[in-house]
Structures are given as structure tokens and as C-alpha cells.
Amino acid sequence: MSVANTRRSGLGRGLGSLLGETAGEVRTDLDDASLRELSIDEVHPNPDQPRRNFDEDELAELADSIAQCGVLQPIVVRAYDGAFQIVAGERRYQAARRAGLETIPAVVREVSDDEVLQLALIENLQRADLNPMEAAQGYRQLVEQNGLTHAEVAQILSKSRSAITNAMRLLDLPQSVQELVANGLLTAGHARAILSVDGDEGREALAQKVIHEGLSVRQTETFGPLFSVKTQATDDAQPKRTVAPESYGVAARRLHNVLGTKVRVRTIRGKNKVEIEFGNEDDLEAIVERIEGGQDERA
């Protein structure tokens, strides 16, 4: 799906214009929607919902409020597989079930498969409900399932390209560290600092140090180089330098001309590598855009 297509389907215009509701209000102008009272047993969560964790205390409070006052803001659903699938409002749905409600007010809308994940992600992001790992996983779903680039995801969600890229980098963390971030024991800033460490073992060790000693993000960045995993080969002796083929130098110069930055093509411990130098996040974003621009031209 291209950015143009997402604009035509309404994505990027904001959750309110798409779903007939806003983050904090009940909208009564529902001429273009069907407001119904549905049996709660007919309603089912979206398995691709980006939000995985619901705060138990907040859910209990909402359930108590719903038990006393009812559901003041309808959820949004679509007809799906003989029942109804939630597009937005799963937290209200979960609380309503806890409160023992048999029915729930819902706005029934026609939403395509491609739009469901995007709408759910927009809803949660506008309400700041997603933890960093849920957001990163949601971005990855948009990229992989809908074939969007980081720039297109950024445009749809009204974020910067670098914010999307940096968020998705958290998925490179070991699973154990991702869980610490998801549970709020590590911030996204800590997680990015931990990513500077080479190897999962070092990253896990630094994560534990952050938690046990209450390190700040700046302190975590300082400790990063000390936790990089070193192989026995690098500890005992430096490997002999291999003379690179002339083609490596030619390739490096061609890449330099295209990307506008220093590039090295070399062999390290039997592995061929291309190293691209950049100064900051803006430089990195510019490099990625040049690479993607070349891919678009070839396509």
C-alpha cells in the first residue's frame, strides 16, 4: 500500500475522522456510521491488536466505573466472520466484560483488513497506551504486512522517520531485555543505550546492571563499551590483516559517491562487510533514503 493509497483510505487524517470518535470525547455525530447495542459475546478482540498488556489496576477502575455508569463511549467494530471484530476500544470491551455487561454500545464500520492494524495502532498511539515494545512491534507489522517503508509509516502516524526507525531498532534486543522494556523496568532510552553493546550476552548483562544499580541513561551509555562481547581470538591476538581485492576499493568509492559519506568494504575474521560512516540520526536517515531511492528507481 502506497502513501497515496493510505491517504485515499483515510489513514493519516487522524483517528477521529476515521472512527467517528476522538481520544477523550463521545461523538454524537454518527450519520455515517451504524450505532448498535451488541451482545458482548458477539464481539471479539483483534488478534493483531498492537497493545498486549493492560494495566490491571486501571482496568479494574474502569470496570467499576462501567458497572456504575455504563459504557459512555462506544467501541468501534467491523463485521467479521459471522460476528464482530474490535477495531478500536478493546480496553473498554475488556472492562465491560469484567463489569458483567451483557451488551456493549458499538459503532459498526466497514474497515478493510489492511486498515485494521493501522487504525488500532493510531488509536493506541494517540492515547499513549502502547509501551515501547508494543509500538515497535506494531510498526514492524505495518512494514511487513502492508509493505510500507519507514517513511510511509511515519507519515501515516504523524511521526518522524527517525522515530520509527529508532523504535524498530528495539526489536534487535534479546527477548529477555525486550520483556524488561515492555514491563517498564527499562526505558526506551536505556534500551537504545544497551543496543550499543555487541552481542546478546553483553546486552543482557548491562540490562541487569541498569536495573540493580538504577543507572541513568547517560550512565548506561558510559558503561556500554565495557560490556561488548569479545571473542577469544581478539583477546589472545589480533588476526592477521588480509589484503583486500582491488574491487573492494572500487566498490567503496562508488558507494561513497552515491551515499556522500565514507564507506569501507573489507574482510574481518572471514566475513565480508560494508561499513558506512554517519555522524548522527539525520545523517543515517539521509543515507537510508538514498538507498531506498535507488531501489525505487530500479523498480
Rounded Cα distance between 34 and 49, Å, is 22
Beta bridge partners of 80: 83
Rounded Cα distance between 256 and 276, Å, is 9
Per DSSP (E only), the strands in 51-102 are 75-80, 83-88
Which grid coordinates are listed for 291?
538507498
Rounded Cα distance between 161 and 131, Å, is 19
Taking Cα atoms as reference points, which of 166, 161, 219 lies closest to residue 190?
219
Indicate the length of the chain as a whole number: 299
The helix or strand, by DSSP H or E, that contains position 194, with its residue range, turns out to be helix 188-194
The helix or strand, by DSSP H or E, that contains position 113, with its residue range, turns out to be helix 113-126
CA 81 to chain centre: 28
Torsion angles phi and psi, residue 39, rounded to 5: -65, 130
Torsion angles phi and psi, residue 91, rounded to 5: -60, -45
Q: Please tell me which residue in 25, 37, 42, 90 is annotated as part of the active site.
A: 90
Rounded Cα distance between 143 and 155, Å, is 13
The answer to whether 289 is a known catalytic residue is no
Angle formed at CA 133 by CA 287 and CA 81, multiple of 5 degrees: 105
Q: Which residues are catalytic?
A: 90
